[in-house]
Amino acid sequence: MKLSVVVPCYNEGASLERFHDSLTEVLQKEKISYEIIMVDDGSTDDTIFKITELNKKDKNVKAISFSRNFGKESAMFAGLKYTSGDYIAIMDADMQHSPSKMVEMYKKLLEDPNYDSICAYKSNRKDESSIKKTLTATFYRFNNIVSDVKLLPGASDFRVFKKIVKDAIVALPEKTRFLKGIFSWVGFNTIYVPYTPEKRMFGKTKWSLTKLLRYSLGGIVSFSTIALKLMGVFSILIFIVGLLNFILLGNLSHRTILLFISILILWIGIIAVYISRIYSNILGRPCYIIKSEIGFK
Ligand code: UDP
Ligand code: MG
């Protein structure tokens, strides 16, 4: 039974050696056969150099390197495609996901064959700013109302799952990926376990507030068309109100006209969001380009 560990890395040169050593220490202690697939997501630091060094001392370390930064979603997707294990884990390179927690999750999955996947959710956000906490909580609440896929608040990309789950995920053709939603969409029996992320040991987070907002909006667009459906329903209502207003009063009041215009502008905005998604999917550009591979035969 082999475990493939997928690690998205963007400018993580400073933490990779430490990460590798602590991960392999637990894997070897538990006698787990493994491969580590590091995905260099267009880093501009010495990440690829560090990975090459690691591959020299540990042949179970393999890597793919992107031609530029394509984002964590693309890095995870590419990494999954390259795995050959019966079980797959995804974890961050910055030591925030503890290797012993990952192995604990893996063993839990082995123990109970009824389960296919195990997901760690953040049970403790005490290190986050209150604005980030509020925005995250709002996102989960809003997502779970409007979206076809329900997400457990705090659900992360820190997961271990069977090959069958990975096969279902990589078979999906969509280009703009929101993995948390995809995991929920593909189904399978999932266990949720709480975890507290460790402090980032080196470097800083790659997620700015705008990146997070774009990511959240993208997630909702991926799995919800409710805004478009509501537009249809409200169109009928607005038409009736407008018509009645016109018949009874002979004209539309300025306030009504203003209200209609604002609603129209909002709708154009919503349609634009979906059109841009259709556009980028129709262009069919890949969600990553591989520059080099290390350690694959
Ligand atoms: N990451 C990536 N591509 C990106 C941004 C991040 O591969 O464009 C990786 C990063 O190297 C790390 C993981 O994704 O291993 C999580 O990123 P980060 O620690 O910045 O996010 P946070 O933990 O703050 O949510
Ligand atoms: Mg992190």
- DSSP helix, strand, coil percent of the chain (3-state; round to 5): 50, 15, 30
How confident is the model at residue 246, as a pLDDT?
Answer: 79
Residue 66 has a pLDDT of 97
pLDDT, position 280? 86
Probe residue for ligand 1, chosen from 16, 206, 212 as the CB with the greatest number of ligand atoms within 8 Å: 206
Asked if 97 contacts 126 with a C-beta cutoff of 8 angstroms, the reply is no
SS3 for 115-155 is CCEEEEEECCCCCCCHHHHHHHHHHHHHHHHHCCCCCCCCE
- Does pTM top 0.75 for this prediction? yes
Domain 2-204+287-294: which topology?
A: Spore Coat Polysaccharide Biosynthesis Protein SpsA; Chain A (3.90.550)
Question: Domain residue spans in the chain?
Answer: 2-204+287-294, 223-282
The minimum-distance atom of ligand 1 relative to the CA of 9 is 11
pLDDT score of 244? 85
pLDDT at 125: 67
**What tokens does 178 get?**
């929101």
* Residue 112: how many other CB atoms lie within 10 Å: 12
Q: Which of 77, 92, 95, 287 to mutate to test the pocket of ligand 1 (most atoms within 8 A of CB)?
A: 92
Q: What confidence score (pLDDT) does residue 22 get?
A: 95
Residue nearest to atom 8 of ligand 1 (CA): 71
Report CA(205)–ligand 2 centroid distance (Å). Answer: 6
Pairing of strands 155-162, 117-122: antiparallel
What is the number of the ligand 1 atom nearest to the C-alpha of 11? Answer: 11
| pLDDT of the residue at 158 | 95
Q: Is 51 in the pocket of ligand 1 (CB under 6 A)?
A: no
Per-residue pLDDT of the chain (297 residues; tens, 9 = 90+): 899 999 999 999 999 999 999 999 999 999 999 999 999 999 999 999 999 999 999 999 999 999 999 999 999 999 999 999 999 999 999 988 999 999 999 999 999 989 999 999 988 766 777 888 888 888 889 889 888 888 888 888 999 999 999 999 999 988 888 899 999 999 999 999 999 888 877 877 877 788 888 888 888 888 888 888 888 888 898 888 888 887 887 777 788 788 888 888 988 998 999 999 899 888 889 999 999 999 898
Residue having the nearest C-alpha atom to atom 22 of ligand 1: 205
Distance 131 CA to ligand 2 centre (A): 18
Q: What is the pLDDT of residue 36?
A: 97
Please tell me the distance from the alpha carbon of residue 283 to that of residue 288, in angstroms, as a whole number.
Answer: 14
Q: What pLDDT is stored for residue 31 in this prediction?
A: 94
